Amino acid sequence: VSGQPRVLVVDDELQILRALRVVLREAGFEVVVAQSASEALDLAAVRPPRAAIVDLVLPDGDGVEVTRRLREWSEMPILVLSAVGEEEQKVRALEAGADDYITKPFGARELVARLQATLRRSEGARAGDEPTIVVDGMEIDLAARAVRRDGEPVHLTPIEFDLLRVLVRNRGRLMTHRALLGEVWGPGYADDVQALRTHIARLRAKIEPEGSGGRPRYIVTDPGVGYRFSL
Amino acid sequence: VLRAFGFLLSPTSPSRRAGVLTALVGVALCTLIVYPLKSIAPVVSLGVVYLLAVLVVSVIWGPWLGALTGVLSAAAFNFFHLPPVGRFTVKDPDNWVALAAFLVVAALTSSVAEVTRARTREALERRREADLATEMARLLLRGESLAEVLPTAAARMAHALELPSAAIVMEAVEPDGRSVAFPLREGDHRLGTLVVGAETSERNLHRLQERVVPALEALVSAALEREDLLAGVVETAALRQADVIKTALLRAVSHDLRSPLTAISAAGEAIALAGISAAEREELAAVIVGETQRLSRLVENLLDLSKLEAGAAQPRREWMSVEDVLGAALEDLAPEGFQLSIDRDMPLVRADSAQLERAFVNVLENARRHSGGHPVSVRARAVRTLGRSGDRLIVRVVDRGPGIPPAQVERVFEPFYRAGTARGGRRGSGLGLAIARGFTEANGGSLHVESLPGQGATFVFELPLESA
């Protein structure tokens, strides 16, 4: 049992906890559950998990607060559960340090896949920086600031390259508009979503394969929230 | 003294006969008064005594009786007092001076008195008109519909202005032989008509046209505008309310449909996994069944609420036993967690048992949810009052939860309102209590809550008892 990664699930809906406990256990996780924010924080301190799944709505607080408190001492991947119509809270959770969110109702398999992806990413990050990243036919040389798709060099402006770099280094992770603007342009530009949209559109025009029916292969939009570099 | 002058100048004069009598008596009295005065003053100067009579008569009865008094006074003074006494002498100039003085005084005082009297009368009329305008404003702008208050307003006007008859109508009326019509306008727009009886005096017609009609036009126009505005406000409020409900509905659907759906979907996937135990399989099956019931209750609630809001929840009332309905409600909910106590020999109630059952289920479920694991007490009894008119059946549902803050006591019955912090909305859809109250009221009853924070809440149903 000790070899299994422990995951903390926080949701006040007992029925959801019952189902998720079985699903996650069968996916190879050790599951601890909490029904309130305070219980979650206590449990996390006593039995530190490798990852946490946190519902945004809790009886004694909210998932944003839990995320913030966990982030104070841990880099563990945090996945928040939300319902449609909670965009604002979702963004706040991501800004508080959540790695991703998943919207109710979700398939259990999707939840497991997302959880494993965030875990892999955090393991990878721990392993150290990679000078070159290769993703599905695209090679990004971070040291040389060069990009090749199917062996063909792609010419990017410095801002486009920085955008791609931030997205790729956080690949799989949802980056909010604010986070991207802050990292690429600097903290003073955090609200200029329009500029971000423009540059993302140019970047896509250069790197996305043509004829994919308008559906981006690499940079996926999360409406109203941000962008994610697809794994 | 002021009051005495007030009497002298009262707007209507006493009859002419009284005037003649007063003139005769006054002249006689003055003639008598002069006799004793002759010993202390020269006779010629005592003519001033007669001025008293002339003054009084001309102030009260006007110039003509005043002049008559002057002539009488001059004659009496001449005959009784001026030498040669007992005889009329016409060649002495004293006589003519006295007569002229009397006539001048009569003319002057009567005209001054007349002016004052006219002013008093006009002031009184103006005051009455002002009072009338105030009263009309109060009537027309009070808030009832204009059509309802117009007859009262017209009656008040007729009374205040002493008109034979008056009517205010909101349409154009042509005058006929028996009435006079004043059109009421605002600019070029015809508002309506003021109709008064044909026998109304010329003076009053003038007054109406000059002063009453303009005021009435302004008031009626303001009242109409107010009615329009109110209708607009009511409509806007209704639209806004509908909008609020729609938004809240989306939220409720987003939250309250998704939670059970998530549980069902996750439990469904979990139950298909190979490694689970029999106990877990049972638990997951129970999750699916339980959450499905929760979903279907929510859907029922949404349908009920939309029915209630559309006014389509017509109760099918029949005689029924509250005991049976409460029993059925508890069965729906699984009876653990409730302590039921019902008085013996409860009378029957005429109500829609299905609607009442929904009301009970919703309130009981709400109570159990907030009771923090403590049992919820349900107590039913009949309350009889003398005369039977106020007989009613009372069901009290008492939980031992955190209670409801005073500011929220009424709000808990609003659709989608959930007690507690805004985002900590738990479990309930926020519809149950709104529906419970809606159904209870549709059946002639009432539902309210009594609560002190920290001491639980008591929901009280009251249903009227009719004689069978």
pLDDT tens column, B389-434: 678 899 999 998 888 888 888 888 887 676 654 333 445 667 888 8
Residues in B closer than 8 angstroms to A111, CB to CB, are: 266
**Across residues B198-227, what is the average pLDDT?**
86
The whole-angstrom separation of Cα B86 and Cα B91 is 15
What pLDDT score was predicted for residue B114? 84
Q: What is the mean pLDDT of chain B?
A: 83
Residues in B closer than 8 angstroms to A4, CB to CB, are: none
A178 CA to chain B: closest CA distance, Å?
A: 24
For the stretch B40-45, contacts whose Cβ atoms lie closer than 8 Å and that sit 24 or more positions apart, written own/partner, are B43/B81, B43/B82, B43/B83, B44/B82, B44/B94
What pLDDT score was predicted for residue A31? 94
- Nearest chain B residue to A82 by CA: give it: B255
A61 CA to chain B: closest CA distance, Å?
A: 7
What pLDDT score was predicted for residue B18? 87
Under 8 Å between Cβ of A7 and A49: yes
The whole-angstrom separation of Cα B383 and Cα B13 is 70
Tokens of B458: 């008591």
Question: Which residue from B255, B267, B424 is facing A59, i.e. has the nearest CB?
Answer: B424
The whole-angstrom separation of Cα A98 and Cα A86 is 15
**Residue written as token pair 């005689």:** B319
* ipTM of this predicted structure: 0.70
Residues in B closer than 8 angstroms to A20, CB to CB, are: 266, 270
Evaluate if residue B102 carries a pLDDT over 60.
Answer: yes
pLDDT bin (cut points 50, 70, 90) of residue B268 is very high
Find, among A188, A190, A163, the residue nearest to A178 by Cα: A190
Of the CA atoms within 13 Å of residue B466, those in its CB half-sphere come to: 11
Instruction: Tell me the pTM.
Output: 0.54
pLDDT bin (cut points 50, 70, 90) of residue B44 is confident
What pLDDT score was predicted for residue A10? 94
- Ramachandran category for residue A27: left, alpha or beta (phi over 0 → left; psi -120 to 50 → alpha): alpha
**Across residues B161-172, what is the average pLDDT?**
85
Residues in A closer than 8 angstroms to B429, CB to CB, are: none
In chain B, what percentage of residues exceed pLDDT 70?
91
Tokens of B91: 């060649």
Evaluate if residue B332 carries a pLDDT over 70.
Answer: yes
User: Could you tell me which residues of chain B have a Cβ less than 8 Å from any Cβ in chain A?
Assistant: 250-251, 254-255, 258-267, 269-270, 273-276, 280, 283-284, 287, 290-291, 423-426
Q: Do B273 and A22 touch (CB under 8 A)?
A: yes
Evaluate if residue B171 carries a pLDDT over 70.
Answer: yes
**Across residues B122-131, what is the average pLDDT?**
86
Residues in A closer than 8 angstroms to B280, CB to CB, are: 22
Cβ burial of B193 (10 Å; 0-12, 13-18, 19+) is buried
Which of A81-90, B29-38, B204-213, B297-306 is modeled with the greatest confidence? B29-38
**Across residues B58-87, what is the average pLDDT?**
85
The whole-angstrom separation of Cα B433 and Cα B443 is 15
What pLDDT score was predicted for residue B466? 76
- Nearest chain A residue to B287 by CA: give it: A15
Secondary structure (3-state) at A32:
strand
pLDDT bin (cut points 50, 70, 90) of residue B40 is confident
Size of interface A-B (CB pairs under 8 A): 85
pLDDT tens column, B3-20: 666 666 666 667 888 889
Question: Which residue from A15, A22, A83 is facing B280, i.e. has the nearest CB?
Answer: A22
Under 8 Å between Cβ of B61 and B114: no
Tokens of B400: 């031992």
Phi, psi of A172 (to 5 degrees): 90, -20
Cα B432 to Cα A16, B241, B354, distances in angstroms: 23, 19, 15
- Nearest chain B residue to A108 by CA: give it: B266
- Nearest chain A residue to B268 by CA: give it: A19
Q: What is the mean pLDDT of chain A?
A: 85
User: Could you tell me which residues of chain A have a Cβ less than 8 Å from any Cβ in chain B?
Assistant: 12-13, 15-16, 18-20, 22-23, 25-26, 57-60, 62, 81, 83-86, 89, 104-109, 111
What pLDDT score was predicted for residue A126? 54
What pLDDT score was predicted for residue B3? 61
What pLDDT score was predicted for residue A124? 66
Secondary structure (3-state) at B163:
coil
**Across residues A74-85, what is the average pLDDT?**
83
What pLDDT score was predicted for residue B424? 38
Can you name the residues that pair with A198 across neighbouring β-strands?
none
The whole-angstrom separation of Cα B22 and Cα B24 is 6
Contacts of A60 (CB under 8 A, 6+ apart): A36, A37, A38, B424
- Nearest chain A residue to B270 by CA: give it: A23
Tokens of B197: 């009886």
Residues in A closer than 8 angstroms to B290, CB to CB, are: 15
**Residue written as token pair 């002495």:** B92
Residues in B closer than 8 angstroms to A23, CB to CB, are: 266, 269-270, 273
DSSP 8-state assignment for residue A225? T
The residue that leads in pLDDT, B421 or B246, is B246
What pLDDT score was predicted for residue B284? 92
Q: Do A23 and B270 touch (CB under 8 A)?
A: yes
The angle that helices B93-140 and B63-76 make with each other, rounded to 10 degrees, is 150
Question: Which residue from A59, A83, A109 is facing B255, i.e. has the nearest CB?
Answer: A83
Q: Do A22 and B284 touch (CB under 8 A)?
A: yes
Displacement of CA B266 from its chain's centroid (Å) = 60
Top residue of A4, A12, A15, A56 to mutate, by most chain B CBs within 10 Å, is: A15
How many Cβ atoms from other residues are within 10 Å of residue A136's Cβ?
10
Under 8 Å between Cβ of A227 and A167: yes
Secondary structure (3-state) at A98:
coil
**Across residues A175-192, what is the average pLDDT?**
85
The residue that leads in pLDDT, B319 or B334, is B319
**Across residues A129-141, what is the average pLDDT?**
80
Phi, psi of A138 (to 5 degrees): -120, 135
Question: Which residue from A18, A86, A108 is facing B283, i.e. has the nearest CB?
Answer: A18
- Nearest chain A residue to B273 by CA: give it: A26
Question: Which residue from A15, A60, A107 is facing B291, i.e. has the nearest CB?
Answer: A15
Angle at B365 between CA B361 and CA B366, to 5 degrees: 120
The whole-angstrom separation of Cα B50 and Cα B72 is 10
